[in-house]
Structure 1
Amino acid sequence: MPETWWRLGPEVLPGPAAVTRAIDLLDAGVERPVLSWSLVTEPVLVAGRAAPGAALNHHALALDGVDVVQRRSGGGPVLWGPELVSLDVCVPPAHRLAGHDVTLAYRWLGEAVSDALSAAGVPTHVVQIDVARHHQSTDDPVRLRAARACFGGLSPFEVVAEDGRKVVGLAQVRRRSGVLFQCGIALTFPSARLARYLESAPSEIERMEAALESVAAGLRDYRPELTVEAVIAAVEVSIANREGITFDPMPAGAIPKHAPDPTETRSR
């Protein structure tokens, strides 16, 4: 008999609320896996554990009215705008997909998303562990510069296009209540805008933009007509087929109200 997961969204939310919703799923201690889709109403800069606020161009962020939200997962900052589709999958701690190896635990999700995007018309593949480790140890100044951003680096089982540019980023949070897998799927990649938020001097902004463009891209760079709805449908079909599951709507009120956490702050 197929396993049944809860499905939430897609829902369009203000940036800070979209970020905290994923943590709500984890803190709820869900009794069955939840697949949740989120988009944002306006851009927000999401800073991971490796992205201290002091490293950002707060003047440019303030001019554009962009909030900075700290999250528990991930490394470098992500500019989450309306054309970045967020997929959160929360599984109970003993679930078969939770995994025990933090790195290998990503494999099923990365491969499912890669299969989906290839089926949707954008040939992709996942980054193997040895390839990711090679990129992480590089002394190439362009890659080192780009790696300040989440989409500028490569981790195992993230998804890249045929030209090697990253189109899907992955992160996870592991707690006693469960495991949260986070997946950011870029329809477009805002290299110019993100560069402005990471650097201050015009020459450095230009270098950062070029570096980001060389290592990251959006799906519409390869298939301009691709829609959010098509991506969501393809990913759900891929996960359902690979894992033998069906989706039911998540019951109303199943997620408790998020309590503020000192590790999740926002500023401008």
Structure 2
Amino acid sequence: MGNNFQPLIVGSMPAEQQRINDLLMAGVEQPQLLFWQYDEPAVIMGCSQRPDEGQIARAESAELPLIRRRSGGGAVFAGPWMLSVTVFIPPDHPLAKQNIIEIFSWLEQIWIDTLTACAVPCKGVDQAMIDRSKIISQEQDLKWACYASLSHGEVVSHDGRKLVGLAQIRKRKGIALVSGLHLSPCDWHQLSAIVVDNPQQGSALARLNSDAQSLSGTAAEQLLPDIISAFLERLPDDFCQKTV
């Protein structure tokens, strides 16, 4: 599949969340993909994180939207440096019968094969890495940040820095597997300044994370179409080119 095929939408985080919600509410009738790149920076809180007055004020001062998503997990700094890929699975699809570890492992392998094909060195995570990351997150008081620890199915650099984060939204009419790839570095200090009023925690987050541009030595804008094409090529036949 050549670089001319670009099923990519560039838009806001609220617009992406609305599209995901609309499809899940209407019902997922066939496997589909949503490739989304954010057109502006925004701080995204997990569904269990309720922004307080301080966070709201700091976000307003920085002129950044502060949004809650429908999936769980910690805070994320989304922006043009991130590619969001959502895989929609019908409730009667064989994948929908798998537990969360199995279905995330399926998606993890697609991401590993995709990034490796694009010369982005990476690997999956195991239980020991997950356990260790949670200890580090606790010790460094970073549990509030989504990219501070690892979970099943996520993808890291060879030295263990997070590259792809995953989340799941499971509804009666379908499943959405949401993944976020850092194409290029983001400003972890600004995220920390807004969420916990401590920009210095950004240094710790920067050490725990990586991005496709830094790992490959290729500019993010050059990598992006190749990553999308490689991802589509590695999906099962019933997913082929069925983009939202």
TM-score by length of 2: 0.87
Change (3 A) 1:222 1:248: closer
User: 2:129 matched to 1:131?
Assistant: yes
Deviation at 1:213, TM superposition (A): 1.0
**Displacement, 1:55?**
8.6
Given candidates 214, 218, 221, the residue that maps to 2:214 is 221
Residue range with higher mean Cα deviation, 181-190 or 48-57: 48-57
For residues 152 and 212 of structure 1, the distance between their equivalents in structure 2, rounded to whole angstroms, comes to 6
Q: After alignment, is 210-219 or 220-229 more displaced?
A: 220-229
| Matched AA of 2:118 | A
Gaps of 5+ in 1: 1-6, 256-268
Matches within 5 A, 1:163-182: 163-182=159-178
- For 1:176, the aligned partner's letter is R
Bigger strand fraction:
1
Structure with a larger share of its residues in helix: 2
| Matching residue of 1:185 | 181
- Distance in 2, Cα, partners of 1:58 & 1:232: 34
The 1:52/1:233 distance shift into structure 2, 3 A limit, reads same
Deviations along 1:101-146, whole A, 9 cap, x unmatched? 122221111110111111111111111234313433557623xx33
Structure 1 residues 135 and 99, CA, compared in 2 at 3 Å: closer, same or farther? Answer: farther
CA RMSD across the alignment: 2.3
SS in structure 2 opposite 1:98?
Answer: helix
Contact 1:47–1:69 under 8 Å retained in 2:
yes
Aligned residue number for residue 25 of structure 1? 23
Query: Do the aligned partners of 1:46 and 1:79 also contact (CA within 8 Å) in 2?
Result: yes
Query: Percent of aligned positions with the same letter in both sequences?
Result: 28
- CA distance in 1: counterparts of 2:211 and 2:189, whole angstroms: 13
Aligned-residue offset at 1:8: 9.3
1:198–1:205: 8 Å Cα contact kept in structure 2? no
Equivalent pair of 2:122/2:155 in contact (CA under 8 Å):
yes
Does 12-21 or 125-134 show the bigger shift?
A: 125-134
The alignment covers a number of residue pairs equal to 236
- Residue of structure 2 in register with 1:117 after alignment: 115
The corresponding residue for 1:156 is 152
- Given that residues 31 and 238 in structure 2 are in contact (C-alpha distance below 8 angstroms), is that contact kept between their aligned partners in structure 1? no
Contact 1:84–1:185, Cα closer than 8 Å, also in 2 = yes
Q: State which of 43, 66, 69 in structure 2 corresponds to 1:68.
A: 66
Residues 153-195 of structure 1 show CA distances to partners (whole Å, capped at 9, x for unaligned) of 1101100011110010000011110111001011123212212
Report how far residue 244 of structure 1 moved.
3.7
Give the TM-score normalised by the residue count of structure 1: 0.80
